Structures are given as structure tokens and as C-alpha cells.
Chains A and B, each alone.
Chain A
Amino acid sequence: MSRVITFRQAISEALDLEMARDPSVILIGEDIVGGQGADGEMDAWGGVFGVTKGLYVKYGDRVIDTPISESAFVGAAIGAATAGERPVVELMFNDFLGVCFDQIFNQAAKFRYMFGGKVQTPLVIRTIIGSGMRAAAQHSQSLYSIFTHVPGLKCVVPSTPYDAKGLLTEAIRDNDPVIFCEHKGLYEMEGDVPEESYSIPFGEAEVVRDGDDISIVTLAEMVHVAMRASEQLAKEGIDCEVIDLRTTSPLDEDTILESVESTGRLVVLDEANPRCGMAADISALVAQKAFAALRAPIQMVTAPHTPVPFSAVLEDLYKPNADRVTAAVRQVVEYQAWQAPASKD
């Protein structure tokens, strides 16, 4: 039976069900139990956004609080994964990945390859992404393109409660390291989610809206921005197809290319910075493999190449919104190629 729960509850439920199903699933992270110095277990924090709240009461020592040392606990989790556990690490904000770069990129991502397939690393790193919460430059980035860049890592960026639960279940059951990116602006979002366990395969984008005129390829919270823009554009007679990538590695190239082949136009919407990001990557993919289908130049709607501002006014300017999407879509749809003047008789 499905019922309406939040994105936060959907993630918590996936953790709960997988811990119940498989005793090798353990949780590791800063303050994921919490309650240091508080009165009793129920006061535990359950992580900075409360996602793991209640799991310590249920699973005890399988929920492990750590010192503030990302390289130490991520490294420990990677080691545990190679030794047969299925750790789910909470790396709080993805901005902190810098302190455990080596553990993720050089160790976890490389083990299967460098040990000739004899080692598997069934590790999930849950981490918080996204701007718009006045959390300033060091707690607001969206760095999934960096994880996507590294072979050996899988990268998941869900946009709805349903997808969050099914993709996290898949991530935990997967035998390779998976980076699971949770947009902080989505935690309160509600949606229909089945009570039972289910898993959504990686590498299948979701076409969230069918349309004939233009493809908008996007991910995470921007999916909802694209949908708002599409509703506005529909009133103007522009029919948008909206594609939610769901996973950036593996990437569902087929769904993107098939969509652009049918619409002939593309806007890529990404709230991350533009250089070497998903928007540039997808634009390159389409330019290379579906060039003949394009009827207008591709447009990218992204944040500017700046840190995320703390100033509320500037942060609102920084983050792509529906108005910027509708403007980009109109520009692509109204594009006229140069035409030779009519010849004189």
C-alpha cells in the first residue's frame, strides 16, 4: 500500500527496511545518533537533518557516531565494505568531500579495478547537496559532477520521495560504491511511496512530462523548477518534455537522445556551476550524437561560475528559477537559422 510521506521519511524508511532485511547494513556518520550529553536516546539528533532519527533505538550499535574526521570514518567504512559489511555513511554536506577525497576517489573507486575484480566495495555515501537554504558557500554546493567524473563510482541524485526510497534501496544492495546526493530543499517534499521495499534500477532516466516542442534535461530539485516552467510555457503553446536523470553515473544516454531526436531542441537545467558540469556534459553528448536532430543551439541554464552567496538577494539570483528556464526555452523555440534572401526574378 502506498501513502504520502516526505522525502526525509522515504530515505529513513529505506534505511530502516534494508537494516531489517540485511544485518550487514550499518550506518556510520557524524551525529547520526547524536544526543551526546542529552537526556536519553529519544533526544538523539539522527543526523544534521534528522534522517536517521529513531534508527539507533531500533538497531543499537549498528548506528555508529563518529568523531569529526571524514577521512577517518569514510576510510573505516570503505574497509568495512571490503570486509563484508554494507556501510551507509552520512557525509553531512557534500562540500566536505574535500577532506576525504583520497578515500573516495583513490581507494573506494579503484578497488574493484586494481584488485582484478576480486574485491567489491558495497558502500553508500549519503550526502547533502543544494543551494537556496541560506547555508552559505561551504554548505550549499552541488558537486555531483565531480563524483560522476570518476570511474568506479555510481552517483544518484533523486528528485521525489518515491525515487529516493527506491534508489537508496538499490544503492544499498549494489556491490559498488554509490554516492547518494540528497537535496536539502527536498526533505519536506511529500509524495506517494509504497510501504514495502522496492528498488529502482540505476541508469534509467524518468520522463516526467511528455512534450513535442523541446526537451528539458534536469535533475534533483531543478526537476520541479522545470515542471513549473513547463506549466507556464504550456499556456503559451510550448509543449516541453522534462527528463529527470535520477542517476548521473550510470547516465541514461538513450532517453536523452531519443527525446532530443523527437523534439529537436534542448535546454539543460542544472543548479550546479557551469564549467565541467552535468549541463556541459549532456550538451556535449547531444551535440556529438544527435546533432542532426537539433533545430536550434542548445541552451544551458545553470548557476554562474561563482561560490554560492550567503546574501539572500544574491543567492536568489544565483539559483536557476522558472523564469530563467522559460526565457531559455523561448529563445530556443524562437531561434531562426540564417536564411538566404529570396532571389530576384
Chain B
Amino acid sequence: MAGARIQGLTMPKWGMSMTQGKVVRWLLPEGTLVSLETDVVEIETEKITGAVQSPMAGVLRRHVAPPDHDVPVGGLLAVIADAETSDKEIDTFTEQAAAEVTVEQSDAQTASPESILLGDRRIRYLKRGDGQPTVVLIHGFGGNLNNWLFNQEALAISRTVYAFELPGHGQSSKDVGDGSLGTLVQCFLECFDAIGLTDVYLVGHSLGGAIAVALAHHAPDRVRCCTLIASVGMGTEIDTAFIDGLVQANRRKQLKPQLEKLFADPGQVTRQLVDDLLKFKRLDGVQHALQTIAAQMVADSRQTINVRDQLQQLTMPTLVLWGQEDRIIPASHAQGLPDSIAVKVFPGCGHMVHMEAASEVNRALEEHFK
């Protein structure tokens, strides 16, 4: 690209609550040749730590933000340019970038979750972007909107992306009915009706994956394509100690070891992540809600939901993603599917593969959406 001789590497926005991030360390010194998507710098937010990648091939010309320095979302971290670009041009670029940051920030603060009432049940969701198509993200058991921290903003650049909170989860109502897959699917169909969503591109993680398959199978006219990430219902193995821990644990010491199983790198489990989940779990009614759903999902240390047959009958394009080192549901559940279903397994990632390998997962989703 001729226009991209010089490009800024900016602080990404990993989720709607993120307003700034801290530079942990530079992974490459100034002057290094980088290619597209090379990890350049490690960033820490109050939720998670992750690497930011180069937006283009070129030379890492300048570290703009020093380590331990807080930088607002959209703020300049580094400058990538080709070797011929003069230092003076880089100076000018850096100064201009500093002037533009404030605009991005004010936009970020306007995004806040909304909710709809379905009878007595309140379902909270976050809508981002306004292009076509319409993508719907469904989190897993014990999850919430924040699970899509690294995905929703990125996907919403050219699409409308909704993330819903399941009944009993996040700030949706604690009433989960009988907690069955059918009830959860029905709840989503009602949400789609209430908001007027058609031709949906479904993406479901874990329990959300099973919901996506069952929904697409039940109402194929509503769904244009389907993506499952580390999905429930594809085999019988599951770490039931994790499920029990998520239901029962009300102290940090009990909960943290269970949450560490979600990631290939347990260091991803920050104090904030544990605290947020604890705060949620302490609310009256949450434990009962999780218990009710769990009872429909596992019994005798095995999964009792099976959507494999339904998945194989789907007529819309379908993609299955998994983290190779998933310790909750083994990646082997992605095997043995018909050739019509695309499968991608990410090495070095656990159950939260969409957080641990966010840019790779986002890229796979973008390919699939085409």
C-alpha cells in the first residue's frame, strides 16, 4: 500500500470498559524489521494482559510510550515505517497522532449496554457498530459481555455486533426457568424478535456454541452462518470440577484455581477477573441460576447436551474453532466432523481461545463471514 509508508501502532480497545492500557514491555527493540501482525509490545489492562501487533510490514522505528506508562485507547504506542522515511517525518507523524487521541476517547464512553424485557425477564446486551451483516455473540456458562472484550469492537468496525448476556448471567435476570438448552434457545429467539434481528451471523462460545447450533437447527431461516468456539455438546468429556467450582465457590482461593483452567496461560487470570466474577456470584439468585443450568448440562461427570447431529444437519456455512490446550472441553471434540464444516484449532490456547488468540480468532471469523 503506497499510503502506508508510515503507520502508528495504537493502544487497542479491548472491550467497552477499557479507556487506557499500560505498556508492560517492548517485545522488539527500535530498528527491528517487522511483518504484518508481529507481536510488538505487551499491554496490561485492569482485565487482562495481551500483545499488540504490527499493523503493517516495515521497520519498528520508534517506541513512543515508555514501559509502565499509561496510554489512552487510540493513543500512539509506536511508529512503524519503511527504512527510507526520515526521522523528521516520524516526528511530524507522532505530533499529529497525539492531537487526534481525544476524539476516539469520547466516542468510547458513549457505548453502554442496553436491556430488553421479555415478560418478566430482563436480558442485557451490548450493541456495537452499525454495518451489515448482523453478528450475534453468545457467551458460555458463567460468562458475561466481557468475554468478548477483544472481539466485539474489532468485528464491529464494519458490522453490527450484538453480545447478549444469558439469563442468570451478567446483569440479565436471574430467572433461568428450567435452565434447559431449549429454554435458552427460546429466549434468544424472543430477543431476536424483540430487536428485529434477521439473517444473523451466530457466534457461540462453550455453552453458547450449543445454543447457537440448536438455534440454527430450530430456526434455519433466521441464521446465515454459524461459528462454534470450544463448544458444549460435541462430545461427553468436560471438566466437571470446573463447573462445580463455578457454581459453588464464593471465595477467591476456591475460584481462582478453577478460572486458571480457562487459559493455556494461567497468568491471564488477573485479580480483577476473579473479583468481577466473585461480585457477580455473590448476588442473590446467581448460585441457584448457575446450578439449574449446570444440572441440564452435566451429569455423572459427563456432558448431557449433544448437538453433534444437529450440527451435521445445518445447511448454512459453519465454522468450528478450538484451543489446542483446552482443559475444560478437549479439542478432540472438533474431530470427525464432515468436510463441509471448517475446523480450526489454535495451538497454545485454552478454553478462552477468543481471548488468548483474539486477533487470530477475529481473522478466522472475518474470513468465515465473507
Contact = CB atoms under 8 A, between A and B. Distances in A.
A201 B253 contact: no
Interface residues of B, number: 11
B325 to A, nearest CB: 27
Interface string A187-205: 0000000101111110010
B113 to A, nearest CB: 10
Nearest to A205: B252
A323 interface: no
Interface in B216-255: 250-253
A166 to B, nearest CB: 6
Given A1-B171, A207-B271, A199 B252 contact: no
Given A1-B171, A207-B271, A210-B271, A199 B251 contact: no
Contacts of B283: 194, 196-198
A241 to B, nearest CB: 11
Interface in B5-26: none
B284 interface: yes
Interface of B: 171, 250-253, 271, 279, 282-285
A198 B284 contact: yes
Contact of B252 (A1, A166, A196, A204): A204
B251 A204 contact: yes
A254 interface: yes
Contacts of B282: 166, 198-200
24 contacts: A1-B171, A162-B279, A166-B282, A194-B279, A194-B283, A196-B283, A196-B284, A196-B285, A197-B283, A197-B284, A198-B279, A198-B282, A198-B283, A198-B284, A199-B282, A199-B284, A200-B282, A201-B250, A201-B251, A204-B251, A204-B252, A207-B271, A210-B271, A254-B253
Nearest to B281: A198
A39 to B, nearest CB: 38
A335 B284 CA distance: 48
Contacts of B250: 201
B62 to A, nearest CB: 26
Interface SS, B side: loop
Contacts of B251: 201, 204
Contacts of B253: 254
Contacts of B285: 196
Contacts of B284: 196-199
A254 B285 CA distance: 29
Given A198-B284, A204-B252, 13 more contacts: A1-B171, A162-B279, A194-B283, A196-B283, A197-B283, A198-B279, A198-B282, A198-B283, A199-B282, A200-B282, A201-B251, A204-B251, A207-B271
A259 to B, nearest CB: 12
A240 to B, nearest CB: 15
A257 to B, nearest CB: 13
A162 B253 CA distance: 20
Contacts of A201: 250-251
Nearest to B275: A206
A234 to B, nearest CB: 10
A225 B285 CA distance: 35
Contacts of A210: 271
A210 B253 CA distance: 16
Contacts of A162: 279
A162 B252 CA distance: 17
Contacts of B271: 207, 210
Interface in A95-133: none
Interface in A160-200: 162, 166, 194, 196-200
B254 to A, nearest CB: 10
A166 B285 CA distance: 14
Contacts of B279: 162, 194, 198
Contacts of A198: 279, 282-284
A189 B61 CA distance: 47
A199 B253 CA distance: 17
A251 to B, nearest CB: 14
